[in-house]
Structure 1
Amino acid sequence: MNAPPLPVPTQLRRMSRFLVVLGLVNGFALAFALGGNLRVAVAALAINNFGLVIVVTMIRGLLNRRTFL
């Protein structure tokens, strides 16, 4: 019944996709929670996407076997 474990790069790719989707949903939820103002929404998404870029870059670095500080 149990599937064999996935190779590590596949797991990391799936995790990075999940983090991107989660970050976008989280950004919209945060924007609406702060009042639904368009400027607030854009600022929340910009901050959120900056954090996501760092996370995805670190995951890609792991995929490429590069070291990140």
Structure 2
Amino acid sequence: MTRRPAIHDAEPHILTSHGSDFFGEDRHLVRDITTLAGWVRGSLPTVGIGDAVVLLTAMEQPKPSA
């Protein structure tokens, strides 16, 4: 019987905490977020997209940070 190793190569990710009263965290891969950005941009109305442009640009062109 073979088992897959539990440790994988590290990939850039975004860590989201559920808050101080809950110890849960979610990790979202940056490559998944960038593919989601195109769908979000296409689903928003052109008239109201002004407020979301900064977020969408950050999603499509992420910059590494520590």
Q: Please classify the TM superposition score into its range, dividing by the shorter chain length.
A: 0.3 to 0.5
The structure with more strand, counted as a fraction of residues: 2
The structure with more helix, counted as a fraction of residues: 1
TM-score (norm 2): 0.42
TM-score (norm 1): 0.40
